[in-house]
A and B are shown apart, each in its own frame.
Chain A
């Protein structure tokens, strides 16, 4: 179809305008009549003369006069002069104009034959779409009459003069005439298309010929030197009133547009236009006229039109018939409109169904659902739209998202569903080596193609009950390309245009779920590594604080042990000088002892923070336990305390590679701790193998005072003591834990206040 982008357009426009220039001019008589006004008697005289000079015109005017039945009695001789008086100047003038224009451009006129110019083939093609000149004139006349009627209904508006309105209405579409003469073939094509698409003619004229009847008509009006108001009506009557330039006769232009609309609403004649932008009442209101005027003039329109047609000899149809014809045409138009509407309704119903399916699918898809959730919802949705049957989904994980479940990135996930949307089998399928990626399956392929032709290898994977020849394939595409494939055994599907919205929705849901899955996995991994990081930080912090404690203890050892050495040495010197047994001697002894105790504490602290590496060697644990218990017992102040300790070695303990000093100290600390809890009756030490480590578990349990949760949680902190000040150095359990850790073992404490404490030391046989 040619468009306005035709490069030859300017030349063509020029050609058309030249052609218009060559159109026959307005008949002299009509031109002269047009110039005359009723204000002067001389003008009336001139009109009479003009009419009298044209016998057929005279006959028509007189006939008009008789039909008008303006006080003309039978037999009375009617003269042109009398007729002018009877009919009035303007009526006669308008009649003359109409008759002359009709003669020139009416159905039987052939200006070129008259002018004898040699023109290319201008014969209008035979066929349906001829420019119906009779009906065109009928339209023009109807607009003229309507314009006159509207103007007459508004005597209070001086700018609306009925006679002027009539002329403007009569000539408003003269551009169409011109086009039909200059470019008959193109114009009939315009008419054909306007009818086919039920659209308005001006846009098609511009598209096909490069200019519309408004412009051509204006050019013609200029050539004919018609008054400015008529020129503007021809040019601008198609424009909405609001957009008209603010010229003096603005309302007249609007009036012609309104009359045009009224005539078209009444389906009188042929205008080439099929759509209505506005209702006449709304247009009237916009112009500042009473909306009711539309109704009142419509009632009058048919009668007046009949009169005028008679005058012009347009046809002999009585007004009633004309009216019926109008109704018929209106019916025809209505029928066409109905057909169109029905087609649209059908499309809308289909679209609604698809839309409902999309809504239902969205409702069924759980938010943040997994890919499998989306598959299930998708198949349910497909069943509701296409009907129940076999369905399967094929999905290839996006490359780059290495899924633990798929051994190689090339595999496709295939989920097959039974008759009722029940998932039957989900498996990974392996495409043949050279088959394309799923996303690369040609997206231009039809809606549904036979699986056989595209992925025949899938037959191996189909459910046994399924024949590959029945299975069709539908690609699900969204912006990312083909996301997945639906397999189904439905023979008939809704038209693709409507399906697309649904399949795009499905595809987007899959893509979203896939992304969501990936994001979820990522965030889980992130959380894992965050946890690991936090733990590492904790350990680092612990190590750092231990290292700082170690440095501090080392510094303290150096700085504090020097003065302690002086205190200890001076006390010792003092005690040597003092008489043995004296109070002073004893005091000096105490000073000496206490300074060493303080020094031991510093040493412990330092060893705790920076423990010496275990000096491991093969050790008989049973012997070590035995010796340790004896050592502790020997150091206890009261014999009953020593008696309370019992040792029971359950199994034959295997030799362990440990630092006997550290482990011995650890066990001793546990024993001392138990003794200090004031056991009611006993401290049990048991030792047994633990094959799970493998190692040895030494358990020290007492029935002493026990520890509350707060004490328990701080039991292994250095210097922590739940006891009032003055008890034994609170380093014991801290040392046990350090020694156990140095051997890859651990210390666990369970305690109930008032019941007792169980300390469990696990030592691997060989760390």
Chain B
């Protein structure tokens, strides 16, 4: 298994029976049998007989059967940092590096943020409100309108505090707002909370 495939498995939310077999180190036939017997919960693709297993169902199955879930569990939560100020980006990268729990990618524009959201499938995005090309609320809205990214958490950070703006950001789909300068510990605590870590 290539690292790219591995990475792909870690970001995946829905698995085929073949992929599930590989993750669980079982034969595909065993997976199919467990699926059909209901021990592995999943669904069939509408209009066909293809079986599909959601990530949660697979993890529960593995835990119930004492199958090591390293292949899934070891995948760190992915965080995308979006800020046009490189110093801020560097700071946050250092913060998460020190924390070691997260896999981090960075972007300095709204456009890059959009591209990376699709590729990297972050679990959480730290988004500066004032970007050179696009404002935070628009990014929020775009993300929320994309079903593939519906689970992604968004924390907005901004140097400008305006209660009305914050309220509108939260309405646009942001999960949290932090004012710059922010307390690292509080930020980490909130991230942990949002990602159920």
Contacts and interface: CB of A to CB of B under 8 A. Distances in A.
Nearest to B178: A565
A570 B90 CA distance: 10
A2 to B, nearest CB: 101
A536 to B, nearest CB: 28
Interface in A528-573: 554, 557-570, 572-573
Nearest to B130: A558
Contacts of B95: 569, 573
A599 interface: yes
B8 interface: no
A557 B181 contact: no
B87 interface: yes
Nearest to A602: B159
A200 interface: no
Contact of B161 (A564, A576, A595, A603): A603
Given A558-B130, A562-B88, A569 B184 contact: yes
B182 interface: yes
A566 B88 contact: yes
B91 to A, nearest CB: 4
A227 interface: no
Contact of A561 (B91, B92, B179): B179
A569 B163 CA distance: 23
Interface string B162-187: 11100000000000000111111100
A554 B162 CA distance: 9
B91 A570 contact: yes
A596 interface: yes
A606 interface: yes
B178 to A, nearest CB: 9
A565 B98 contact: no
For chain B, give the interface size range. 20 to 34
Contact of B181 (A573, A595, A612): A595
B184 A567 contact: no
Nearest to B94: A573
Given A572-B184, A573-B94, A565 B161 contact: no
A743 B90 CA distance: 44
A553 to B, nearest CB: 10
B60 to A, nearest CB: 36
B184 A558 contact: no
Contacts of B26: none
Interface in B81-115: 85, 87-88, 91-92, 94-95, 98
A573 B161 contact: no
Nearest to B161: A603
B137 to A, nearest CB: 16
A293 to B, nearest CB: 117
Contact of A565 (B162, B181, B185): B181
Contacts of A595: 181
A557 B87 contact: no
A561 B98 contact: no
Given A557-B160, A558-B160, A572-B185, A565 B180 contact: yes
Contact of B180 (A562, A570, A572, A573): A562
B127 to A, nearest CB: 14
Nearest to B180: A565
A563 B159 CA distance: 10
A284 B161 CA distance: 112
A566 B181 CA distance: 7
B159 A560 contact: yes
A665 to B, nearest CB: 14
A292 to B, nearest CB: 115
A570 B91 CA distance: 7
Contacts of B182: 565, 568-569
Contacts of B85: 562, 566
A612 B183 contact: no
Contacts of B179: 561, 599
Interface in B54-95: 85, 87-88, 91-92, 94-95
Interface string B149-162: 00000000111111
A173 to B, nearest CB: 116
B184 A562 contact: no
Given A561-B159, A566-B87, A576 B181 contact: no
Contact of B87 (A561, A562, A599, A603): A562
A205 B180 CA distance: 116
A557 B160 CA distance: 6
Nearest to A569: B91
A710 to B, nearest CB: 34
A557 B94 contact: no
Contacts of B98: 573, 576
Q: Which of B91, B98, B163, B181: most chain A CB closer than 10 A?
A: B181
Contact of B184 (A573, A596, A603): A573
A573 B98 CA distance: 9
Contacts of B88: 562, 565-566, 569
B163 A612 contact: yes
B190 to A, nearest CB: 15
Interface string A572-616: 110010000000000000000001100100010010000010000
B161 A596 contact: no
B159 A557 contact: yes
Given A565-B180, A572-B183, A595-B181, A606 B159 contact: no
Contact of A573 (B87, B91, B158, B160): B91
B128 to A, nearest CB: 9
Given A558-B130, A573-B91, A595-B181, A565 B163 contact: no
**4 interchain residue pairs of minimum CB distance:** A561-B159, A568-B181, A565-B180, A565-B181
Given A573-B94, A599-B181, 15 more contacts: A558-B158, A562-B87, A562-B88, A564-B181, A565-B88, A565-B91, A565-B182, A566-B85, A566-B87, A566-B181, A568-B181, A572-B183, A572-B184, A573-B184, A606-B161
12 contacts: A557-B159, A558-B159, A561-B159, A562-B85, A562-B159, A565-B91, A565-B157, A565-B180, A566-B85, A566-B181, A606-B161, A612-B162
Interface of A: 554, 557-570, 572-573, 576, 595-596, 599, 603, 606, 612
Interface of B: 85, 87-88, 91-92, 94-95, 98, 130, 157-164, 179-185
